[in-house]
Amino acid sequence: MRIIDLRSDTITHPTPEMRDAMFRAEVGDDVFSEDPTVNRLEAMAAEMTGKEAAVFTPSGTMSNLIAVMSHTRHGDEIILGEKSHIFLNEAGGAAALGGVSLRTLPNNPDGTIDIDRIEGAVRGKNLHWPPSRLLCLENTHNFCGGAVLDVEYTTEAAEAARRHNLFVHLDGARLFNAAVALGVPASDLCQPVDSVCFCLSKGLSAPVGSVLCGSGEFIARTRKLRKMVGGGMRQAGVIAAAGIVCLETCVERLADDHRNAKALAEGLRQIPGLEVEKPQTNIVMIGTGEIPAADFVNKAGEAGVKMISVGTNRVRAVTHRMVTAEDIDEAVRRLKKAMAV
């Protein structure tokens, strides 16, 4: 039985073109900024996001961490959503390593944070309070079902932050999913913010890596921070080469993943007892009702369909390049049969 793996778009394998580019990559020592392939990837990323400079890191978690550390000082406070990846799924690094406190605000179902809540959370000048220094947004929003933040909201939130002298960082792990869904250049989504990172190893299908983009001064600081937390790599062009190929060849095809997510959601709505949210991008959130999410995931797994539980009665499925439209039809067929037992 063929396994249909919908746990995450991180399971994607590099394409043959990526593997060939990795094999042939021209390399140097990236800690000395002498790897021409890494330099090319960073230049591409900066151009695509409309920023001055960029730095290649091993992971999105590291990109977010060094962005927070670069924008803040120990004892500062950052403002972010209570469902944000930085708060929930990055091992507490911002607090443990960055030395900042995290002021969490409710995320709306569409991934936004109310502007008045953002402004209301900014600390005044009081010696008892940590200084507010940074607002973090997320686009697309993972735990809000791949929700997309549009240009208008991002601009409004950034303007509110700047009224209070806050920097703005965008966790754009799936930035290009948002750009494709909205039909706008990624740079439009990044223009309002001070820094942005995106992952190469999710829907874009590279084997590893993230790129953090911002001003030249900001990126110069993050290079030292990257070294501090163990992210300085040497002949990293071997993996950066795959990142170049994915940016050249895999962005537009993300629309296929979005179509497959919609088809999956439509199929799952036919199963009694499930409440399936309408996906904007490649993430489908499934409310399992009276069925515990763990039981649903186990039954799906027995039918050869892998998903993950993200709550007591909530399951996530993610479409990606290694799952075809035919696989989606087959997954729905298997799940209907499994849930009927």
Domain ranges of the chain: 16-249, 253-339
Cα separation of 256 and 270, whole Å?
22
Cα separation of 275 and 287, whole Å?
5
What is the sign of the dihedral through the CA atoms of 203, 173, 276 and 312? positive
> In the chain, which ranges are continuous DSSP H helix?
16-24, 36-49, 60-71, 85-88, 93-96, 115-121, 151-163, 175-182, 186-190, 216-228, 237-249, 254-268, 293-302, 325-340
Q: pLDDT digits over 14-49, tens only?
A: 999 999 999 999 999 999 999 999 999 999 999 999
Enter the pTM of the model: 0.96
Q: Which residues of the chain have pLDDT under 70?
A: 341
What is the percentage of the chain residues whose pLDDT exceeds 90?
98
The pLDDT assigned to 341 comes to 54
The pLDDT assigned to 1 comes to 86
User: 22: which residues sit within 8 A by CB, 6+ positions away?
Assistant: 14, 238, 239, 241, 242
Looking at domain 253-339, does it have CATH number 3.40.50.1970? no
Cα separation of 94 and 74, whole Å?
10
Interior angle at CA 83, CA 277 and CA 289, nearest 5: 40
Both tokens assigned to 128: 């008892």
Q: Average pLDDT, whole number, for the chain?
A: 97
Number of residues that make up the chain:
341
9 by DSSP, 3-state: which? helix
CATH number at 16-249: 3.40.640.10
The pLDDT assigned to 340 comes to 81
